[in-house]
Amino acid sequence: MLSTLRAFGEWLAMTSLSNTIQNVAWIIPTIQTIHIVCVAIVISATFLVDLRILGMFARSQTLASLSDRFLTWIWWALIVLLVTGSLLITGEPGRSITNPAFFAKMIMLVIVAALTYVLQRPLATDAGYWDGDRAAAAKGIAIVSLLLWSCIVFAGRWIAYVTAL
Amino acid sequence: MESSIFQWVYDLPIAEHIRANELAFPWLESIHVLAITLVLGSIAVADLRLLGWASVKRPVSQVLHEVLPVTWVAFAVALVTGLLMFTSNAVEYAHNKPFQFKMLLLLLAGLNMLVFQFVTFRTVGTWNDAVRTPPGARFAGAASLVCWIGVVAFGRWIGFTIGF
């Protein structure tokens, strides 16, 4: 598995796209900036909805309309994040593809994206879905979501500090 | 004279401590990034309402009142972690061009907010529910977005131009 990834990284590093990203100085900082702006959208949208569930934000608005107002943005931002993230990997495959911080980031991302979908989906047809009996479950999801999204940002920064395998 | 102030900051015990502990900087940086993404995202909610592009069913004053406390808490965290990182390499940061531009944009963002708060916002009663806000409010929203995205861009650039 690891050797396959390493071989893939070596092949990727020799592509002309990778060479361009490596050799033109402004490309990586620019892609990273776009990446961080999209992280800002995802983090803020999910945090505000999670804080609403925990009763710390916009209590005057229902969870369903808040979810409609914010969570719809994150799926578009996630698409841009996948594209910019893939370009960053293409530019420095040796640094990222076999990096434990990168693995951790991707695993947490899959889990929290699924959780966010589970939270958002029922609200589209039943605005009161997370009220009453399910309120405690919603609070649990909100806390896990806050923690996982924070850890994803941390793991992203730690790719620069953790040595690739 | 100017350099000696930054040298004094560099020599502070806290700066020594951050330099000596190799995990300190990555942790400060991680928290700083998380805080700044929250600053940018939450202030964008306010800016996009001022521009009439989002949250338009809600009154301007309510959107600002709800979201800006989140922005301020996140900004406080970004400020503290940013100052701590600054101390660890004060002289070099102070002379780093992207860092200087970032500080300039922060200053402009602050001025923009002051003008909005004390001039433009005073008449909010007449346009609180409007989708299309007055030119001054739209300008404030656009300027804020540009400044904060610039803060992120120059902030990222610092990392490529500072040598440890």
pLDDT tens profile B24-60: 999 999 999 999 999 999 999 999 999 999 999 999 9
| Residue B62 contacts A, CB cutoff 8 Å | yes
Question: Do residue A161 and residue B26 have CB atoms under 8 angstroms apart?
Answer: yes
Give the model's pLDDT for residue B2.
64
Segments of chain B scoring below 50 in pLDDT: none
A1-30 pLDDT, tens digit per residue, is: 889 999 999 999 999 999 999 999 899 999
Question: Do residue B41 and residue A44 have CB atoms under 8 angstroms apart?
Answer: yes
This prediction has a pTM of 0.94
Residues A85 and A14: their CA atoms lie apart, in Å, by 18
Span A34-62, mean pLDDT? 95
How confident is residue A164, by pLDDT bands cut at 50, 70 and 90?
Answer: confident
| Residue A162 contacts B, CB cutoff 8 Å | no
Q: What percent of chain B has pLDDT above 90?
A: 94
Place of tokens 């369903």: A64
Residues A163 and A135: their CA atoms lie apart, in Å, by 42
What is the ipTM, given to two decimal places? 0.93
